[in-house]
Amino acid sequence: MGYDLWADTVAGPIHIKGPSSMNYDVDLGPLLISDWYHHDAFGLFHYEIASPHAPLPVTTILNGKGVFDCDPASDARCTGEHQRHEIVFEKGKRYKIGLINTGSLLTYKFWIDGHNFTVVQTDFVPIKPYVTDVLIVGIAQRYEIIIEANATFIYGSNFWIHATYCDDDDMLDSRVGIIRYDGSDDHDPHTPPKSEQHPGYGCRDPAPENLVPIVEREVGKRVNGLSPADYLRIGLQGWPNISDTDSLVHKWTLTNRTQYIDWREPTIKALTSDAGAQFENETCPIYLDYETGEWVYFVIENNYTLSDANTPRTIPRSVHPIHLHGHDFVILAQGDGIFDPIDVVPNLHNPTRRDVVNCPIGGYVWIAFQINNPGAWLMHCHIAWHASAGLSLQFIEQPGRIKGLMEQAGALPELTDRCEDWTEHYNTVNIPKGALQDDSGI
């Protein structure tokens, strides 16, 4: 499923129930937070690459429900009705909720008036429980939280569920849902003053000392290079001249190059034909031909300007949720400013483990993962417009083992059939290749 299709709301959770690091009474299932647009994703993508500032959403929805200020007299699509997602609590019970950011652009700051909650899982990794009253949730990040229904009814028995952009408290109305202790009371909750709504909290992931995995893992010595030339830097390029700061088209980069994938020739197809296949630079490959069990480290920086431009290109201010396919990774370090390998000490003893990390605004993240899953694995920014514009790369892991595993699984005939179907479609609709391709191919 392409990013533009996903951004147009084809989304639904798969709820896998596993052990929890804390007891609870009721499992309320997933709670999906998403930004909402009134224009189709393909049009928004072309707006973004020409700007290069991302188009802003009009509202936030919670489990598919939300409110937008419109006038039925001037807009036939405006029904005059409005709904917010509501949850009814029973005093004294503990409720488990799975928070998922299914949005396209915004990293959300989440909180509930009058309640603390306990975080017990991050990206499907059970952690030692910790209590908080606010949580930053990047796109594609998942948290399981447990809320105890123990509020005091100073302003009544209804409470707002809030979610707003972490870097701009006033961009959208944060009141996205309601918790009620009396299902028959349909009054809106009391709205606390701005000073009680975690102003200026920022966009950082929870502190690593709070995200401690229950199942411990020690990080081994790295086997790959890690000089400054190996750092992965989030940046922008003009097109067709990458150093043209006045370019009419802007593309994102993670390896000093924008990633393009030919949809007719997926990486895995080439690797099943030739384990030693070398890919074009535009596919942004990083080869990980190491022994099973060895560790690789990567630094990702979010403070980069294009150094070979006459006038350095300034990167639009943004937190970037970085997602890796095929693996969990551990977070060795995460911080503000320029990464300094002398001053930054990696956490090698049971560090935070997840598969989506927020690379801070003007900062860095240092990750590692273990070689144990042969394949071609994408790593990309989960902002839809950035991924579509090439802010991604692929790890080619143990290429010599891929064909044998595909044959063992009996998957090669289906791979061939699907590629033929896609090639026919691709040629029929005449999809442009390169910078104007509607999607990077991931």
What are the residue boundaries of the structural domains of the chain, listed by start?
A: 3-210, 228-429
The radius of gyration of the chain's CA atoms, rounded to the nearest angstrom, is 23
- Structure-token pair, residue 222: 């790295």
Buried b (16+ CB within 10 A) or exposed e, 138-175: bbbbbbbbbbbbebeeeeebbbbbbbbbbbebeebebb
30-39 per-residue burial string, b: 16 or more CB within 10 A, e: under 16: bbbbbbbbee
Same fold, 3-210 and 228-429: yes
The predicted model scores a pTM of 0.93
Q: Would the pLDDT of 272 be above 70?
A: yes
What's the confidence (pLDDT) of residue 387? 87
What's the pLDDT tens digit per position in 188-215?
Answer: 999 999 888 898 889 999 999 999 999 9
Question: Region 405-429: what's the mean pLDDT?
Answer: 88
Whether the pLDDT of residue 3 is over 60: the answer is no
Domain covering 3-210 in this structure, CATH number: 2.60.40.420
Q: Lowest-confidence range among 5-14, 44-53, 72-81, 360-369?
A: 5-14
For the stretch 20-77, pLDDT in tens is 999 999 999 999 999 999 888 888 888 888 876 778 899 999 999 998 888 778 877 7
Instruction: Tell me which of 2.60.40.420, 3.20.20.70, 3.40.50.300, 3.40.50.970 is the CATH number of domain 228-429.
Output: 2.60.40.420
pLDDT at residue number 9: 59
Tens of pLDDT along 106-127? Answer: 999 999 999 999 999 999 999 9
